[in-house]
Structure 1
Amino acid sequence: MKKLLLALLIAGAAQAEEPQQVEVPGVKNPDMRSYRNVVAGLDAFQEYHALAPAVPELRFRLSAGRMSDQLTAGEPLSLRIAGEGDPIPVPVTADGTFTLPRVQSAIDDDADLILNRKKGALRGRPDIHTPGLPDNVRRLGDLRLECQVAVAIGKKEIGLLKTLAVNTLVLTTDWCGMSTVMKEKVKFWWPSRRIVEAAEIVDGERRETIEAKDFSYLTPLADKAWSNDARIELRYAPEPTAEEKTNPWLQPLFVLGSMNDWTSRTPMRKLEDGIYTAELDLEKGKQQLKIGTRGLVDLELGAAEKDAQLTEGVATPLALKGKRLTLKLDQPGHYTLTLDARNTDAPTLRASHIQQ
């Protein structure tokens, strides 16, 4: 259920009907959203504005995740409201942020919001920041307001019947404040534009560490014991140097996989030029993994083919931007993963069981 709601909050739900085809010069299958659906987010911003009273207006941000080049690739970003009348341009800043005007005629026309990028290349989400806070600090009330805006849009996109079904399943209409069956308040993973090494939440004298993984961190949005003025302080990972960006093999390498729920990284130790190892305690059954730099941003090594098996004791070829590697284990135990990248064009990975 948490995965379903997170998909709604972060990416938006798929619309029930296929959108009409619109021609955008130079863009095949451009990204479109119902303008009415996004206006629901404007309404939520006004309704819940007390969560972030110092924020003067609702802004949205377009982002491409690890495919950051999509934000600047090709023609400058162009967004417009297209209905029965003349298109209404929506200015987008160089960093991908914009405000959306409320135009009653466009609401009446059931207009579309059209972006000059291929469908799915970019994601849009609310971007609410109380003025004066450092870049690495997020105010909890701001995140709660972002959640309410995103949920309002998501509910419009999935429609009334699905919304009622989810309300029944989670026993509340407030998806941002829901509890588990055990009455524990649900926590939400929230995205970060930079890789997060560690995070803490601070509220007056109270301070607690919260879980962080690469481009996201776990937020207690639903827990009212934390005030809206509570601050989440993020410690970002160091940015790679220009040399490390050019040659990502100079960066630290990590193992990321199902053995740690894809939420933490196991560092690899460099034994010699091109040879790296990592030791992991693995459970019996199927494990999936990838090797790469932090966040798999500059280097992502995986299976050359879908469903490729990593056989114990056998050097398996890896591919850049590869699929998830699958390792099936007959017994739990302590294992070593050895990456041989002496030839960076043809790296291999070997798994070995360490006898205790």
Structure 2
Amino acid sequence: MSICLVRAALPAAWVLACLGVCMDANAQAAQGTSLPTVTISAKANRDPVEKSYRKMIRGMDLFEREKKSMAPDASLRFKLLPRRRETDMNAIDLEVIGTTIDFPVPIAPDHTFTMPRNPKAYDENAQVIPNRKAQTMTWRSEIRTPGLPPGTRRLGDLRLECRVGMESGLVSRGTSIISAITGAIFDTPAYCDQKAPLYLFFAERPLFSVTLASGERREILPVAMLYAAASDDPKLDRDLPDCDCEVLVDRTYFLPLDDRSWADDTLVEFEYMEGGS
């Protein structure tokens, strides 16, 4: 199977890929009434970019079930990423808040964290809430096998990242009616196994190219699979604010997750923009 996408379909596909997951307004209201009265900033945030603790634990469970076959030596962390240029990613307070329980989650300097398991928080369907407003950040799972060459990732790790991210409900969407409809289609791990799934990955720095390498076989991804396919979107200025990649477009890429001719041990090699940071 070719890893090239049909360019004619990309403008619509890009919108679907970039439309983010917003929580149903009625569900938010119902959850809000059960939160305890507290004073710290994350809990006082009127427009939180919150996630479901229960879903994130389910994502961790999926990782434990599937890592042996896809990423046997890898570890799982979660990562926070900016969605707006003005978003302050320093000193973020992250807390799990249920009806009767709340506890902080430490965040590492690279904006990653592990989620502690707490049966009471799970039973109470707690929320994971940072002290940042909605539409200012996005979330991803980060699965890494140690000992890889610099500037590379392992395809099996990234395949599992997609599955864990979808199971955990991490991809942030905008507030359009289209996003509500597409959410029901995309918010399952099975999406990652569909033909040419448009799951956005983020590199560490602005990208020049991405290459798949497996033994003697090498293939450079087409530009249509970089930059959230924005080069093919004639309505970029309108669509970009609905994408959780808005401020990181130059770091984004898609992968042929469904193409099993590329083994899980395939290396994904990054060539970065000169001077990119």
Query: What TM-score results when the alignment is normalised by the length of structure 1?
Result: 0.55
Q: Is the aligned partner of 1:197 residue 2:233?
A: no
2:169 corresponds to which letter in structure 1?
G
Higher relative contact order (CA 8 A, sep 6+): 2
Matched residue, 1:52: 71
In 1: Cα distance, 2:100 partner to 2:184 partner: 36
Q: Is the aligned partner of 1:238 residue 2:256?
A: no
> Structure 1, residues 247-300: CA drift from partner, whole Å, max 9, x if none?
xxxxxxxxxxxxxxxxxxxxxxxxxxxxxxxxxxxxxxxxxxxxxxxxxx9xxx
In 2: Cα distance, 1:163 partner to 1:45 partner: 24
Q: Is the aligned partner of 1:116 residue 2:126?
A: no
1:199 corresponds to which letter in structure 2?
V
> Structure 1, residues 7-32: CA drift from partner, whole Å, max 9, x if none?
47xx5x22222242766437442332
> Structure 1, residues 138-190: CA drift from partner, whole Å, max 9, x if none?
110011000101121239999xx9799638xxxx97211112xxxxx556542
Number of residue pairs the alignment of both structures matches:
223
Q: Is the aligned partner of 1:177 residue 2:213?
A: no
Matched residue, 2:22: 14
> Structure 1, residues 86-125: CA drift from partner, whole Å, max 9, x if none?
4111110122100011211111111111111122211111
TM-align CA RMSD:
3.2
Alignment counterpart, residue 88 of structure 2, candidates 45, 70, 79: 70
Q: Is the aligned partner of 1:36 residue 2:51?
A: no
Q: Check 1:5–1:95 CA distance in 2 against 1; reply closer, same or farther (3 A cut).
A: same
> Structure 1, residues 306-354: CA drift from partner, whole Å, max 9, x if none?
xxxxxxxxxxxxxxxxxxxxxxxxxxxxxxxxxxxxxxxxxxxxxxxxx
In 2: Cα distance, 1:165 partner to 1:63 partner: 24
In 2: Cα distance, 1:45 partner to 1:37 partner: 12
Q: Check 1:155–1:63 CA distance in 2 against 1; reply closer, same or farther (3 A cut).
A: closer
1:221 corresponds to which letter in structure 2?
L
Q: Give the drift of 1:5.
A: 6.0
Matches for 1:152-171 after TM superposition, within 5 Å: 152-154=167-169, 166=185
Matched residue, 1:318: none
Structure 2: segments with no counterpart, 5+ residues: 1-11, 174-179, 228-249
In 1: Cα distance, 2:84 partner to 2:273 partner: 15
Q: Check 1:68–1:42 CA distance in 2 against 1; reply closer, same or farther (3 A cut).
A: farther
Matched residue, 2:237: none
Q: Give the drift of 1:233.
A: 0.5
Q: Give the drift of 1:60.
A: 0.5
Q: Is the aligned partner of 1:206 residue 2:217?
A: yes
Query: What TM-score results when the alignment is normalised by the length of structure 2?
Result: 0.70
Instruction: Indicate the structure with greater helix content.
Output: 2
Matched residue, 2:120: 105
In 1: Cα distance, 2:111 partner to 2:53 partner: 18
Instruction: Indicate the structure with greater strand content.
Output: 1
> Structure 1, residues 57-85: CA drift from partner, whole Å, max 9, x if none?
x201101056275212xxx1111111133
In 1: Cα distance, 2:214 partner to 2:124 partner: 46
Q: Give the drift of 1:204.
A: 0.9
Native 8 Å contact 1:189 1:218 kept in 2: yes
Q: Check 1:37–1:187 CA distance in 2 against 1; reply closer, same or farther (3 A cut).
A: closer
In 2: Cα distance, 1:166 partner to 1:27 partner: 30
Highest CA radius of gyration, 1 or 2? 1
Q: Check 1:216–1:80 CA distance in 2 against 1; reply closer, same or farther (3 A cut).
A: same
Shift >6 Å, 4+ stretches: 155-158, 161-165
Q: Check 1:109–1:163 CA distance in 2 against 1; reply closer, same or farther (3 A cut).
A: farther
Q: Secondary structure at the match of 1:40?
A: helix
The worse-fitting range, judged by mean Cα deviation, of 200-209 and 112-121 is 112-121
In 1: Cα distance, 2:258 partner to 2:190 partner: 9
Structure 1: segments with no counterpart, 5+ residues: 180-184, 241-296, 298-356
